[in-house]
Structure 1
């Protein structure tokens, strides 16, 4: 049984002078060597290692019985350089580390040569067979971007390897983008815990491989493993990324059935999922039903952002006002969402008001993305001079996102004079982004400047930049099918059936008055020849597939990786009326709800 700590009323230590005074009292009372008091004195070191290190060194040097337990808590509180310095001091006393020392110092150790030195010391002192030390070493190598060295340590781990070791490797490889290597290791794991399952799912989510993440989630459930809030949140985010509403609802029901505690993170994930899967009203019901403790700022931001991308600007600003009434202070994300809501709804004066109001009232510092939102707000409304003036008056140099917003606006309104110089500037700032080239080429094509369009294409070839292929996903009967521009990503027997449906779809809407919009086709060819590439756009193929598997009155939900083109937007309006479907399309920028030949955006996008 440990001895009780001798009493001395603790006082706040704010300076070395106060530390010396308090230390002298401890010495007079004979308490200076007691571990609890010594640890308190040493913890002062972490506040300012450069200034306080000499005093800490003298304190340790005169301690009658120094022990690793005095120093171990400090290692995780100190920056790597000072932690290494403290370890050197520890060894000079001499005071040998124990099995708690390396797990404290290794996770934050950098650069790589420091990790290698600690590895050598760990081997010398015989801690390489200790699971906690081994796992900390694996984490250190992985966090320093050395998966090869981590793998060598892992392969030599032998009996010291445990589920934490395997999970550390899986999670570390995922963070380095080596998701396939992580999956191979994950499949070979002799035993898994919830952290292991979540690490693999999170790795896939981070890599944008949402369907693979859901496959891991399904395997986990098939093995009878009960999840927790972390796993549930990751699964919900995967459903969000895939635009898989049915799967998202299923995961939500699973959370309710298991009685998983809904914290702020999970609550925000569920609200965000319904918003981004096209069910903003369902998101609203979930948001309203959240218990007060789960309704954090992130949930408010998700709901305001959900209204924003669905074009419901009035609802977004009304919810912001309610947020204020309930005493929740906005942050920089709130400002982005409110400005986005105003931009998508054409609420220019309101957007200008909220920009100045939130900045002035709540002290939110305007960042680059906020200026980008304001440029987008003015640009969509055709106020290009205001957008350009805002860029000129910005307190920082505009980045490619801000300039890209102006270029996009020039493309929408066909303003080549303003847009062309911005376009070339954007390309030079972001030379590997194919979307920048395509936007400029589209702008030039609208003016019939085919030689300049060819110049843009040659520049792409010279820089080995490939145009990002359009991809669209549609959920039918709980399954996700993906289509790529010009091709299909599902079993071959259905290929001809989908193409036949697409041709019939185009024929029928043509009889109802549809005329192809070929302005976005970047070739100086005859108009009738431009129509064929339009037929192969991924969302048209996804819609054709949806028509084959739904009935009149059903809702089809499609997620597209790029901004929907004008022709596909027009086609979808006609299809919604002619084939009596409600079609919800989520593109890179926002949601479009098509019904009875109209779109919720009112062609303001």
Structure 2
């Protein structure tokens, strides 16, 4: 290869000017259809034999493939570049377009040293290149290039300015991006859109919306930038509301906007709106590529409609890895682990190689149904047979797999043997398992590490406080909550949403802001009265699992409000779909089972972790891991047996059993064998 790049003496040619021109044209046409470096080398050798190795047009075409194509060779391109006697701006601009170039400033420096004057295409491509490798050195380089933009008279060039704005956003300096934008003499729609998209990327959604509202004109790209910005930041309701405004202004739904809106529908369990968008895509002949198809499948899975997701999946002529992953992941969150593993087997038969996401989804599928040993085998198989290098999230899934099943020592062993230091998500999985299974000692040790690694996450403090509270260590529970307050960490408010007639109705525990609040609360009272006849008793112990709503009565938790609204607004026999941002508490879980039985309804609830299909008094999760087992030598009980102790004078728990033998452990006095009845007894001398 090197021989081709060293100067070769030109051999005298007997070709006429016309023949030489024809040969040159043929070589250039051949370069346009190259697909490999071996072809490039052949055409390069022909150019050398024709004496055209210094031809900038021909060299530029060689460079374009070598520097930009995934099948190219950047090193070959750089060697070719170094041997060009008089490269023009086109040559330099081609190199700046390379996604593999790690030092664009060095190329720009050579451009200046060779006295090649930048043109209007130089700075846009240079800023793009600097953005892709943005680090402290690139930022410094970018500022220098910014000065050159003014020095060389390109400060009024909109393309250079737009890419300069993108550069500052990539370096997370929105103030500088805004300064460039404000000083632009003429702001095109592209400049406005760049600002809106950049602000959304950094999480400044409100500022982006304010800028969006100020725009003198908008196009479909601008609308999509704002809608997708809302979706990326989890503001799904705002995305759908903005879409309504977009339609009012006469803009048609395009493919990229449709994908963003489907993601918003998935986030809200807005099945009706998701179906409408899917039908719109079909009616208007919008091309459904692999990415859009995957988004549609994901929407149906996350809206609790697996059958329709399967229909879309099976209708695909070719299924990419993202489509397989979406379907396997959907089955996993619905607790259909066996089907997820079976589908993975079909994927292997189709010779589709799995990736990191496949492994994550399979481990999640096994964790939700308790397939511990099978999950471990899949993990080992994916690593050994498919060459997947496990990442942090995979070890977190493995810890969750063992932890949910109560195999805490094995979960801890996974953490100890990880090739990297565990992050808060991995340790949090073990902490959650300790809370489920009542292992206070291990949970306390892990919990203290977690709150230091992730001090702004309220869920970490909540888990630790719950663990202490369940064990009767009220002072430690209070200290955990106090630490959270002292650090200014706010609890995430529990919210439940239900869609009716393409309108999302959102409920917060104890909130009466809904226009039909009185009727909804009356319905809750009627609903609870009816399920009491089937044995419902409010599970005050369940509040220990999620104290996010502890200030509100159990009967008015947001899930119950959403279910009551659904019973009011849907027809008999119609399935209700509810989405909650937190995990469903034990009491709402038990109540939902009885409501499904009493009202003969199927209720599908998606919480933070998974789907729950309530039907006929049962839940699809089979109450897996809903039991809290104390890691004490004397007691095993379910969450429904535990009462939260708010009065500090209540310290002892007596459990009456046929056996009179007693044991005392800390503040808990228990009797062995069968837990029949719990009584809280005041002990003023404690």
Measured in 1, the distance between the counterparts of 2:49 and 2:534 equals 98
| CA shift in 2, pair 1:73/1:449, >3 Å | same
SS of residue paired to 2:497: strand
Q: Deviations over 1:82-138 (max 9, x none)?
A: 322222322233221111111110123243333332222222222222232222222
Name the counterpart of 1:500. Answer: 522
The range that moved more, 391-400 or 449-458, is: 391-400
More helix by share: 1
Q: Which structure 1 residue ranges, 5 or more long, are not aligned?
A: 524-529
* Structure 1 position 143, deviation (Å): 2.1
The residue number in structure 2 matching 1:413 is 437
| 1:512 lines up with 2:527 in the alignment | no
SS across alignment from 1:108: helix
Among 606, 614, 617, the alignment partner of 1:594 is 614
Q: What's 1:526 paired with?
A: none
SS of the equivalent of 2:553 reads helix
CA distance in 2: counterparts of 1:304 and 1:282, whole angstroms: 14
Could you say which residue in structure 2 is the equivalent of 1:39?
60
Show the counterpart of 1:174.
Answer: 200
User: Residue 582 of structure 1 contacts residue 595 of structure 1 at CA under 8 Å; is this kept in 2?
Assistant: yes
Q: Is the 8 A contact 1:453 1:522 kept in 2?
A: no
CA 1:45 to 1:347, structure 2 compared with 1: closer, same or farther past 3 Å?
closer
Secondary structure of 1:469's counterpart equals coil
Task: Sort the Cα spacing of 1:93 and 1:352 in 2 relative to 1 into closer, same or farther, 3 A.
Answer: closer
TM-score, length-normalised on structure 1?
A: 0.89
Measured in 2, the distance between the counterparts of 1:496 and 1:24 equals 84
| Offset of residue 210 of structure 1 | 0.5
**Shift in CA distance, 417/120, structure 1 to aligned 2, threshold 3 Å:** closer
Partner residue of 1:264 out of 281, 287, 290: 290
Offset at residue 445 of structure 1 (A): 1.4
Distance 1:135 1:392, change over 3 A: closer
Q: Is the 8 A contact 2:392 2:426 kept in 1?
A: yes
For residue 187 of structure 1, report the CA deviation from its aligned partner: 2.5
Match of 2:222 in 1: 196
Output the TM-score relative to the length of structure 2: 0.79
Q: Determine the C-alpha separation between the residues in 2 that align with 1:584 and 1:480.
A: 16
Q: Does the 8 Å CA contact 1:433/1:465 hold for their aligned counterparts?
A: yes
- Higher-Rg structure is 2
Q: How far off is 1:72 after superposition? A: 1.2
1-side partners of 2:79 and 2:184: how far apart?
Answer: 38
Measure, in 1, the Cα distance between the counterparts of 2:445 and 2:467: 11
Which position in structure 2 is the counterpart of 1:95?
A: 116
Summarize the Cα distance change of 1:7–1:30 in structure 2 as closer, same or farther, 3 Å threshold.
Answer: farther
Report the more deviating stretch, 378-387 or 476-485: 378-387
1:455 lines up with 2:455 in the alignment: no
> How does 1:186-265 map onto structure 2 within 5 Å?
186-265=212-291
Q: How far 1:397 sits from its partner (Å)?
A: 2.7
Alignment pair present for 1:324 and 2:324: no
Asked whether the equivalents of residues 470 and 544 of structure 2 are also in contact (C-alpha less than 8 Å), the reply is: no
Q: Classify 1:504/1:296 alpha carbon distance in 2 versus 1 (closer, same or farther; 3 Å).
A: same
In structure 2, the gaps of 5 or more residues are: 1-19, 626-686
CA contact (8 A) 2:99 2:129 kept: no
Instruction: Work out whether residues 98 and 129 of structure 2, in 8 Å CA contact, stay in contact via their aligned partners in 1.
Output: no
Please give the alpha-carbon distance, in whole angstroms, between the structure 2 residues aligned to 1:123 and 1:570. 68
User: Contact between 2:577 and 2:604, CA under 8 Å: does it hold in 1?
Assistant: yes
Counterpart of 2:543 in structure 1 is: 521
SS at match of 1:487: coil
Cα deviation per residue 1:366-423 (whole Å; 9 max; x = unaligned)? 2222222222222222222322233333333332222222221222222223322222
Q: Quick one: which of 85, 89, 94 aligns to 1:73? A: 94
Deviations 1:460-509 (A, max 9, x none): 12222222211111112221011123325x54x42333233223322332
CA separation of 1:274 and 1:520: change in aligned 2, threshold 3 A: same
Residue equivalent to 1:105:
126
Q: Mean alpha-carbon deviation: is it higher for 353-362 or for 545-554?
A: 545-554
Whether 2:104 is the aligned partner of 1:83: answer yes
Deviation at 1:443, TM superposition (A): 1.6
How many equivalent pairs are there? 585
Between 414-423 and 469-478, the greater mean CA deviation after superposition: 414-423
Aligned to 1:425: 449
Match of 2:339 among 296, 303, 315: 315
Check the 8 A contact 1:556/1:583 in 2, yes or no.
yes
